[in-house]
Amino acid sequence: MKKVIALTAGIIGSSLCWAGPGDEINFPADYLTNFTPYLSLNRTQNPDQYIRLYINDKGLSGTEENGQLPYGTVIVGEVYKVEKDADGKVINSTLGERVINKLAVLAVMERREGAAAEYPEGMGNDDWDFAAFKPSGERANKDLTQCAACHAPHTGSHHLFSYQHIIAEQNRK
């Protein structure tokens, strides 16, 4: 019996050490100097946010035969809060765009071999892993399976919303 308990404790103990969603993504501290900015837009899901997107060189190096971006691709989304007026209404600029205020969170996707196994069934996203960081580089407390759930249905664009913009950036002369 003792043996069984010890074994069970061992299994539970080691399962705590297994990587879960986002665990293997390190904060990409060099993204401002080494990544390429490819798109900035008012966030489509959030009426009071703005996002700036950056991709590393690997992600601009080409695609696999099926069009998927290569393993090692890292994409960073700088999510900003935006300016509001005294009534709390989002201000639109002369250009009709939201105006960035405070950097709220860094949303990161990394295509990593085996990442799919860390997510629930149907949310593997073809090995895209997700992580969220505070601007300081500490991990932000986000439910990463929710990230995966929203990106999962987009199979036609390899689980990316900005896929066409990345391809355009790859082809930019």
Residue 148 CA, distance from chain mean position = 9
Q: From its phi and psi, is residue 43 left (phi > 0), alpha (psi between -120 and 50) or beta? A: beta
Q: Could you say which of 60, 82, 115, 147 contacts ligand HEC (CB under 6 A)?
A: 147
CB atoms within 10 A of CB 159: 23
The nearer residue to ligand HEC, 65 or 80, going by C-beta atoms, is 80
- Nearer to ligand HEC among residue 33 and residue 141 (C-beta): 141
Pick the binder of ligand HEC from 60, 77, 82, 127 (CB under 6 A).
77
Nearest in space to 110 (alpha carbons), one of 142, 134, 144, 67 = 144
Among 36, 161, 169, 170, binds ligand HEC (CB under 6 A): 161
Decide if residue 167 touches ligand HEC (CB under 6 A): no
Tokens for 161, please give them: 């919303």
Residues in region 99-118 near ligand HEC by CB under 6 A? 107-109
The HSE-up count of residue 53 (CA atoms within 13 Å, CB side) is 18
152 binds ligand HEC (CB under 6 A): no
- Which residue has tokens 């913009």? 165
Name the one range near ligand HEC by CB under 6 A: 13-21, 59-67, 115-123, 127-135. Answer: 127-135
Q: Which residues bind ligand HEC (CB under 6 A)?
A: 43-45, 51, 53, 75, 77, 107-109, 130-132, 142, 144, 146-147, 150-151, 160-162
